[in-house]
Amino acid sequence: MIFGVDYYPEHWDKSEWSEHVRLMKEGGFNTVRMAEFAWSRLEPKENVFDFTWLDEITDLLAENGIKIILGTPTAAPPKWLTNQYDIFLRDKYGRVRGYGSRRECCANNPHYLERSRIITEKLAAHYGKNPNIIAWQIDNEFGCHNSTRCYCSHCRSAFAEWLRQRYQKISVLNQSYGTVFWSQEYENFEDVILPSYTSCDADCGDSPTHNPGLALDFYRFSSDSWIAYEKMQIAIIRKYSDSPITHNMMGHFSDIDYEKLAEPLDLVSWDNYMDNQWNCNSFETAAMAHELMRGAKDQNFWVMEQQAGPCGWDQFGGTPRPGQLRLWTWQAIAHGCEGLLYFRFKSAPFGMEQYWLGVVDHDGIPRRRFYELKQTGEELKRLESLLVNAKQVSDVLLVKSYENVWSHKIKKHVPDFDYRNMLLDYYKANQRLGTNPVCGGEKLICNRYRVIYMPAYAIVSDRLKTTLSQYVKNGGTLVLTFRSGIKDENNNMITQTLPGLLRDLAGITVCEFDSSPIAVRLSDGFGVTRIWRDIMEPDGAEVLVRYEGEYYASSPAITVNSYGSGHVWYIGCDLEDFALKKLVQIISDRAGAAYIPHPGDTEAIKRKTDHAEYLMLLNHTASKTDMGIRGQSLISGKNFDGMLDAYGVEILRV
Ligand SMILES: [Zn+2]
């Protein structure tokens, strides 16, 4: 099992390398990732390559039994390259996103593409057959720093070609977008604009003020541009190496369609920072991110960068408490991680990330964090046969759609509506009940899951309708909510009665809605709803909860419809946390979906291999907690009495 660190030999004098490697061995780290930001040292001048230093450290690591994941260095171009060629992104105001940090390059820039091809080919040809290179990482965190979408002239030409492939005739595009609105009809594909700054921008904050079909296509195109860039590098590496190829993704990040980005990769990896300058993630946010990463290919994944200390750029996030680094490692494993590297080995005293602390501090002395990880590594090694190829046991799927993220971002309905937060709310409700839902895209929909949640699934295609009908007919339980089935694939409102293609499945008609920001009480102890209320008439569905206020008092708020051998729930409004958990329990009980009761702020996750089944218990609180579950500990071999230490972890045989 990979248990490693991210390492930057180019940051240190060669004389220090052997001490670093000695400490890595002492810590039990068996793998390093290297070189993903070392372009200026690998190609110091155009077409002048120097791999001698990387050869030396590769040999030193190999002599010490440490394997290597090699990154292509294309996320940070060297200065000479940007002197020679204008490869910079343009923002929607036409401003150059210039040199001085990273990820400043445009995926459609011909010079950047050419230089990327050359450095990737050189690196792959040099190291492709090296037995110590066990995997490749393409680039680094595509889309980071809001770099997915670019508004340069190269992107404009590439967009025209992308549109030509999609629509063939400009009349079809005009029809699909409804460009007759505000006289925006285009004469040819080259005529189509990129959705940049307009005279209406001040009215809509962050949302694009362009035709919604154009805006959605530009999001699709921008995502596809990076996927094409990734495929270009994969094809080159594949010529020289059979080792697995991955890219380090970013969990909940949604500017790039991670389902599509994952497709050409052998495995998904991602970078997990629980508490940094920008976020102090709840454990549920991290758990869901792990699940999304597992779901992207429906297979176990690696964490390429796992937090190893307090971190941030100009400010630190919180300092991980004793036990938390171990806990976060085990949390990743519990959700399907089977290879993990900590970022970074030794903290850099210079550069933008001088505040990003690694396994050892700036002075290179191993302290608390080092020894905690060392212990964690020993545990992982001992239990490896249980962890690799383990599968999760869950009856519940939560579906995320990147196109729906974009559609809801382009037009967000009301100020307090947030699709991604809504997904997280449904995830949390399930986590708190103990169903431990799998998360992923439409591809995962199948009758292996007893319950499938698809909150606010705005864009519904005929093909998806067929898949869902089949799933429910065969006995599945589908959960829909307000803002489902409202749009077509061009991001236009549908002209059928809502919820459109889902109407017969849901067995209700949405007659109107109340988007006023007011609190309306719900019947049966379901609290109040504040953001959105669909006002519905049942067409055969059973009514479970009703509104108790406003002009629609006593009309249905939550319904369930029988369809074939299955059921379709329709949740017409937003719910408070407690009400959502209560509802998820009712849905699970009716559908026979299993859950594991456990205290708040803890996780209880069942996993199995071909030979064993076990329960992982994680305590995310700072106090000892009675988990209400006893058994034999696979970590200590002793009897576990149910009391789990602060930030503690237990694994019990089932
Ligand atoms: Zn561009």
Virtual CA dihedral for 226, 231, 236, 239, nearest 10 degrees? 170
Please state whether beta strands 248-249 and 245-246 pair in parallel, antiparallel, or not at all (unpaired): unpaired
Angle at 571 between CA 410 and CA 528, to 5 degrees: 95
Any idea what DSSP says for residue 280?
B
Q: Are 474 and 566 in contact (CB under 8 A)?
A: yes
Distance 410 CA to ligand 1 centre (A): 20
Place of tokens 């080919």: 121
pLDDT at 652: 97
Question: What is d(CA 241, CA 360) in angstroms, rounded to the nearest whole number?
Answer: 33
Q: Which residues pair with 613 in a beta bridge?
A: 608
In the chain, pLDDT over 70 holds for what percent of residues?
100
Distance 647 CA to ligand 1 centre (A): 46
Question: What is d(CA 619, CA 602) in angstroms, rounded to the nearest whole number?
Answer: 5
Q: Is 305 a catalytic residue?
A: yes
Indicate if the pLDDT at residue 206 is higher than 80: no
Phi/psi of residue 470, nearest 5 degrees: -60, -45
Place of tokens 């369809």: 563
CB proximity list for 90: less than 8 A, separation 6 or greater: 96, 97, 106, 150, 151, 152, 155
Question: What is d(CA 136, CA 152) in angstroms, rounded to the nearest whole number?
Answer: 30
Distance 148 CA to ligand 1 centre (A): 9
Residue from 43, 104, 141, 379 carrying the catalytic annotation: 141
Q: What is the pLDDT of residues 412-470, one digit of tens each?
A: 999 999 999 999 999 999 999 999 999 999 999 999 999 999 999 999 999 999 999 99
Distance 269 CA to ligand 1 centre (A): 26
Other CB atoms within 10 Å distance of the CB of residue 521: 14
CATH class of domain segment(s) 396-591:
alpha beta
Residue from 284, 291, 305, 403 carrying the catalytic annotation: 305
- Residue 21's region, left for phi above 0, alpha for psi from -120 to 50, else beta, is alpha
Please report, as a single letter, which amino acid is at residue 36.
E
State in Å, rounded, how far the first CA of the chain is from the last one. Answer: 23
Q: Are 334 and 386 in contact (CB under 8 A)?
A: no
Question: What is d(CA 345, CA 165) in angstroms, rounded to the nearest whole number?
Answer: 46
Distance 435 CA to ligand 1 centre (A): 43
Question: What is d(CA 483, CA 116) in angstroms, rounded to the nearest whole number?
Answer: 42
Question: What is d(CA 469, CA 561) in angstroms, rounded to the nearest whole number?
Answer: 13
Q: How far is CA 472 from the centre of its chain?
A: 27
Distance 193 CA to ligand 1 centre (A): 13
Distance 74 CA to ligand 1 centre (A): 16
Name the CATH code of domain 602-653 (choices 1.10.8.640, 1.10.540.10, 3.50.50.60, 2.60.40.1180).
Answer: 2.60.40.1180
Q: Are 617 and 599 in contact (CB under 8 A)?
A: no
Q: How confident is the model at residue 199 (pLDDT cuts 50, 70, 90)?
A: confident
Question: What is d(CA 199, CA 502) in angstroms, rounded to the nearest whole number?
Answer: 37
- Residue 500's region, left for phi above 0, alpha for psi from -120 to 50, else beta, is left
Mean pLDDT calculated for residue range 517-537 = 98
Q: What is the pLDDT of residues 323-352, one digit of tens each?
A: 999 999 999 999 999 999 999 999 999 999
pLDDT at 22: 98
Question: Which range among 28-37, 145-154, 271-280, 395-404 shows the weakest confidence by mean pLDDT?
Answer: 271-280
Token reading at 597: 């009761």
**CA-based Rg of the chain, rounded to a whole angstrom?**
26
Q: How confident is the model at residue 600 (pLDDT cuts 50, 70, 90)?
A: very high
pLDDT at 279: 87
DSSP code string of 220-262: HHHHHHHHHHHHHHHHHHHHH--S-EE-EE-TT--SS-HHHHH
Q: Average model confidence (pLDDT) for the chain?
A: 97
- Residue 276's region, left for phi above 0, alpha for psi from -120 to 50, else beta, is beta
Q: How confident is the model at residue 97 (pLDDT cuts 50, 70, 90)?
A: very high
With 0-12 CB in 10 A as exposed, 13-18 as middle and 19+ as buried, what is 117?
middle
Distance 149 CA to ligand 1 centre (A): 7
Distance 126 CA to ligand 1 centre (A): 30
Residues in the chain: 654
Distance 308 CA to ligand 1 centre (A): 35
Select the more confidently predicted residue: 280 or 74.
Answer: 74
pLDDT at 103: 95
Distance 441 CA to ligand 1 centre (A): 28
Question: What is d(CA 265, CA 248) in angstroms, rounded to the nearest whole number?
Answer: 11
Distance 498 CA to ligand 1 centre (A): 39
pLDDT at 504: 97
Q: How confident is the model at residue 258 (pLDDT cuts 50, 70, 90)?
A: very high
Distance 566 CA to ligand 1 centre (A): 48
Angle at 263 between CA 449 and CA 109, to 5 degrees: 145
Check whether domain 2-151+217-390 has CATH 3.20.20.80, yes or no: yes
pLDDT at 240: 98
Mean pLDDT calculated for residue range 54-83 = 98
Q: Are 51 and 14 in contact (CB under 8 A)?
A: no
Outline where 356-511 has alpha helix (H).
368-382, 384-387, 402-410, 419-433, 462-473, 503-506
> Which residues sit with Cβ closer than 5 angstroms to ligand 1, an ion?
106, 108, 150, 152, 154-155
Q: Are 20 and 64 in contact (CB under 8 A)?
A: no
Indicate if the pLDDT at residue 143 is higher than 90: yes
pLDDT at 493: 98
Domain ranges across the chain: 2-151+217-390, 396-591, 602-653
Please report, as a single letter, which amino acid is at residue 40.
S
Distance 161 CA to ligand 1 centre (A): 14
Residue from 178, 257, 166 nearest 488 by CA: 178
